[in-house]
Structure 1
């Protein structure tokens, strides 16, 4: 019995190590380079799911009247999202002809694609009150759709990460700003780092430190094959890229 237990423990350890070594791919703003797609579009989300990558990243902003919309920049067609009511934004079009999606639109589409993780980036806002509001509204919506396990959160704002840790402590929450060591991020309540690849070139030890703290490690936005290989060799958990098919091929051929 002792021998059997020892063998099982060794097998579990090997499985864990293998899992850590297997870098996975996240499509940056969806698979937007695919035909008929656009950045942060629902088509991009669907194309990412078709590509069978781990996740599809997207960005959210808060309108002046409290609607969460999916857009990277804080303005669209010359209108500042945070200063504009949703009614004035709702008919604006993305480059592929889609209407500007709301978070509700995105979550509804994502729920039909359970094999792709929804990597939800909450953008920094001008005031703490706005950040607190979008964090609370977003988490509430994710829970209403029953997507707590499918949605993972990222943000450049430490305040937003702290609010997320308070509102949804069991979720995956990663800090994006690339400026502090993993232990300092964990002390704030986040359980992952999602840093620019240049940060890991300067501090390669942060990957191991994060793993030793039980944290996940993502790297953005890696589009060059040479840089992808460096990050795969560092054993990062995820690579966020505008080239998801190329990154997936590299991972498969490791």
Structure 2
């Protein structure tokens, strides 16, 4: 990456290709045992594999706890129609007890002090609580959301809760769309302005027929000191191709495979 070490947010140090374990790591063997994504076991497996970055999602329970959970309900994970917002922590603990164990955001930050967390604020109600919880850990947390308003609310809450510096951040959908449009129109000043308050662009390689991640986008991001992380990349060939393109991070369900790819290339994943 072109940005100087001094300019980068501490979340992004040291400078090397990054493997971000998408919702933790659930290997085929673990899945066969019933381990679910975003569970304590999935985070622990990613950590044990040597992954420094774990991507996860944040929802708020009925009793106000921030939990690592992707969906807004329990249908897919537990065949239970209830919304996360309507369930209390002790109920979720019971449900997840045979699925790798529930993990709250507070537990994740405490139990894995050397892991950097990439947190997607899924529920609007969770934004303020996420910000308060990550405030003491801002140097090892990136906050993002599909909603820019939700992302900014969490960042502001971290500042209000005493964070020495804001957590790292990547854009929501609206900002990403504006960036892609500004690049297409060659509005260089607008591109720089959109990148100014970001630490990473976390994007899919494509959105329908539109190629989002290109060599030109990587070049523009790097010129502004911003990294490019691509989600969700699970095939080795795609990992190799994107690393050749110059991307800085791979968000993947197969962090074990991505680590092997990065290490095979003669670099050290972080």
Which of 147, 156, 159 in structure 2 is aligned with 1:166? Answer: 156
Q: Deviations over 1:77-129 (max 9, x none)?
A: 211123x1425733442384344332222222223xx1x21121111x3xxxx
For 1:140-155, what aligned pairs fall within 5 Å after superposition? 140-143=132-135, 146-155=136-145
CA contact (8 A) 1:29 1:40 kept: yes
Give how far 1:150 is off.
2.0
Name the count of aligned residue pairs: 224
The equivalent of 1:220 in structure 2 is 231
Q: Distance in 2 between matches of 1:81 and 1:61?
A: 7
The equivalent of 2:49 in structure 1 is 51
Cα separation, partners in 2 of 1:88 and 1:53, compared to 1, 3 Å? closer
Q: CA RMSD in A?
A: 2.8
The equivalent of 1:68 in structure 2 is 66
Structure 2: give runs of 5+ residues left out of the alignment: 9-13, 75-79, 159-164, 180-190, 266-270
Q: 1:186 aligned to 2:157?
A: no
Which of 101, 106, 109 in structure 1 is aligned with 2:108? Answer: 106
The equivalent of 1:198 in structure 2 is 206
Cα separation, partners in 2 of 1:86 and 1:190, compared to 1, 3 Å? farther
Cα separation, partners in 2 of 1:61 and 1:44, compared to 1, 3 Å? same
TM-score, reference length from structure 2: 0.72
The equivalent of 1:27 in structure 2 is 21
Q: Distance in 2 between matches of 1:233 and 1:122?
A: 30
Structure 1: give runs of 5+ residues left out of the alignment: 1-11, 126-130
Q: Distance in 2 between matches of 1:163 and 1:104?
A: 19
TM-score, reference length from structure 1: 0.76
Q: Distance in 1 between matches of 2:255 and 2:96?
A: 21
Give how far 1:151 is off.
1.9
Cα separation, partners in 2 of 1:202 and 1:137, compared to 1, 3 Å? closer
Q: Distance in 1 between matches of 2:36 and 2:258?
A: 19
For 1:79-90, what aligned pairs fall within 5 Å after superposition? 79-82=82-85, 84-86=86-88, 89-90=91-92
The equivalent of 1:5 in structure 2 is none
- Determine which structure has greater relative contact order: mean sequence separation of CA pairs < 8 Å that are 6+ residues apart, divided by chain length: 2
Cα separation, partners in 2 of 1:160 and 1:224, compared to 1, 3 Å? same
Q: Deviations over 1:135-181 (max 9, x none)?
A: 221121123xx322222222111112222443445321112535332
The equivalent of 1:234 in structure 2 is 245
Q: Distance in 2 between matches of 1:67 and 1:249?
A: 36
